[in-house]
Structure 1
Amino acid sequence: MFQHHDEYRQWPFLNQEEFELACAFFDQRYVRASLGATRQIFKIRSRRTLTTGESYIELLRLLQLPENEDELSLALSKLGTGVVDPRSGGDMEMDTTEEDADNEALRLNHITSATNPTSNNALPQYSLYSHQPYVTYEIHLHPSYSVPTLWFTLHDLPMGEPSFDIDAVYRYLVPPEYKNRLRAAGVIGGISAAPHPITSLPAFFIHPCQTKEAMESFDCPIKDYLTVWIGLVGGCVGLWIPREMAEDQQEDQ
């Protein structure tokens, strides 16, 4: 009945090696998908911690699209050059392999590079339009549950709105159809808060206690694991895989 479960030591759980492989396949799917301008407002980066060498996935998404191109280029510049925690590895440039064929992405990259200062000594350039709210999602392997766990943080919200605030999460990330269900779930099985697994700064995450039940009825190869998993877990906090990445998965089958 299940053709792909033998790819795992214990489906639907992942050990570290299997998680690393799933991350590599997910990166590859992002690289080769024809995303156009979506590639610039939805970034996927492969990361590796310097302390342990373990991989994780970082995803960045603008919370709202600016109204004009100047605002967009400034926002994209910020998204593409975020501060990297010293305990994590540098970016693995996921956009370069297949982006040459993506004219819209190249056009936006040109705009972005023109607005991004390269000197470390340069004074910061402030603009009324440079601060666009965005969300950072991260996928880490949970050390106890042995399943992926979705962490997320909000950034650059309008003045006076705290980023680490559950009401802001519901306001900016949680779609209306999920709000009652998540609030009813409470801490276990819903949105939880804890120190980030790398930075130890306060962050939110989707508690992984129900991941096993959500995944075990699926029969997906390890190359599709994270795509399926995000489809089950990500929507409640506004994370969806671009249609082009999902179509790429269907073509592989």
Structure 2
Amino acid sequence: MTYRDEYRHWPFLTEEEFTLACAFFDQRYIKAKLGPTRKILKIISRRTATTGGAYIEILRLLQPPKDDDDLALALESLSGFGSSAKDEGMDVDMANDDHDQEVLRPQLWQKPDSTPPKYSLYSHQPYVTYEIHLHPTYRMPTLWFTLHDLPMGDPTFDLESVFRYLVPEEQKSRLREAGITGGISAAPHPVTDLPAFFIHPCQTKEAMENFDCPTHEYLMVWLGLVGGCVGLWVPPEMAEEQL
């Protein structure tokens, strides 16, 4: 069975097709039985305040605390989620997140502002923010990422920090040989306009052409090709058929 007829021009995406792919990806995260993984990986479906365009935000702790209390504090409040449970006088049981759809879904009606997301003002845990945006020229998903709260002496907007904290050892030589335009590039973030890194999409078309996937699997396949070089892997539970 071929799925390419679902797209106007495979493997490129229109705005509508990308929005649908984002919605399917968001649902996979919400429905997946992730267990402890949900404590260190947050996936949020968002829209830009100016154009209303869809994108995906993914937050991952780089060095999860060993102490459960510190971990709970680090994940207590994400930017854009509204007031934290602590501020509202509510208790959130993280152990039951996989059974509570309302706990898993952020308040998506809130428009993100231009400030970088934070896990908590009190946690100071190093983390990375990934974002998936549709590239306006290449018409392909593009993975943006920024580092936050690194230890003193490690600048967040620095290519060496990216290689140190995100790039797996086996990928480093290949990415360095690719150069800044063939692998990891830097540019103003598409939403905040702040300096950010992204994986250049110039070779994504050729990679995706080897696959034939429905819209609800597009971002899963794409992330499997792109994400690993900067430390982003889709939890296997999200790959289970659930739609």
Task: State TM-score, norm by structure 1.
Answer: 0.80
* Cα drift, residue 27 of structure 1: 0.6
Aligned length: 216
Aligned to 1:180: 173
| Secondary structure, counterpart of 1:37 in structure 2 | helix
Aligned to 2:116: none
Change (3 A) 1:65 1:144: same
* Cα drift, residue 172 of structure 1: 0.3
Aligned to 1:159: 152
* Contiguous gaps of at least 5 residues in structure 1: 85-89, 92-98, 110-124
* 1:208 maps to 2:201: yes
Tell me how far apart the structure 1 counterparts of residues 159 and 201 of structure 2 sit (CA, whole Å).
18
Tell me how far apart the structure 2 counterparts of residues 18 and 164 of structure 1 sit (CA, whole Å).
32
Tell me how far apart the structure 1 counterparts of residues 78 and 175 of structure 2 sit (CA, whole Å).
33
* Cα drift, residue 160 of structure 1: 2.0
| Secondary structure, counterpart of 2:34 in structure 1 | coil
* 1:49 maps to 2:48: yes
Aligned to 2:3: 4
Matched to 1:234, the amino acid is G
* Cα drift, residue 189 of structure 1: 2.1
Q: Do 1:34 and 1:102's aligned partners in 2 also have CA atoms closer than 8 Å?
A: no
Identity between Structure 1 and Structure 2 (%): 67
Change (3 A) 1:101 1:175: closer
Q: Do 1:40 and 1:105's aligned partners in 2 also have CA atoms closer than 8 Å?
A: no
Matched to 2:51, the amino acid is T
Tell me how far apart the structure 1 counterparts of residues 233 and 121 of structure 2 sit (CA, whole Å).
31
| Secondary structure, counterpart of 1:186 in structure 2 | helix
* Cα drift, residue 202 of structure 1: 0.2
Aligned to 1:81: 78
1:220-235 aligned within 5 A: 220-235=213-228
Q: Do 1:37 and 1:105's aligned partners in 2 also have CA atoms closer than 8 Å?
A: no
* Cα drift, residue 105 of structure 1: 5.8
Tell me how far apart the structure 2 counterparts of residues 104 and 9 of structure 1 sit (CA, whole Å).
37
* Cα drift, residue 104 of structure 1: 6.4
Tell me how far apart the structure 1 counterparts of residues 224 and 170 of structure 2 sit (CA, whole Å).
15
| Secondary structure, counterpart of 2:35 in structure 1 | coil
Matched to 1:43, the amino acid is K
Q: Do 1:20 and 1:55's aligned partners in 2 also have CA atoms closer than 8 Å?
A: yes
Tell me how far apart the structure 2 counterparts of residues 236 and 63 of structure 1 sit (CA, whole Å).
15
Tell me how far apart the structure 2 counterparts of residues 200 and 222 of structure 1 sit (CA, whole Å).
29
Deviating runs (4+, > 4 A) in structure 1?
A: 99-102
Tell me how far apart the structure 2 counterparts of residues 126 and 232 of structure 1 sit (CA, whole Å).
34
Tell me how far apart the structure 2 counterparts of residues 236 and 173 of structure 1 sit (CA, whole Å).
8
* Cα drift, residue 73 of structure 1: 1.4
Q: Do 1:30 and 1:44's aligned partners in 2 also have CA atoms closer than 8 Å?
A: yes
CA deviation digits over 1:30-55, x for unaligned, max 9?
11100112112100001101110101
Tell me how far apart the structure 1 counterparts of residues 205 and 222 of structure 2 sit (CA, whole Å).
10
| Secondary structure, counterpart of 1:167 in structure 2 | helix
Tell me how far apart the structure 2 counterparts of residues 167 and 74 of structure 1 sit (CA, whole Å).
29
Tell me how far apart the structure 2 counterparts of residues 50 and 73 of structure 1 sit (CA, whole Å).
30
| Secondary structure, counterpart of 1:174 in structure 2 | coil
RMSD between aligned residues:
2.4
Tell me how far apart the structure 1 counterparts of residues 61 and 233 of structure 2 sit (CA, whole Å).
13
Matched to 2:2, the amino acid is Q
CA deviation digits over 1:209-241, x for unaligned, max 9?
000011001010011000000000000000000
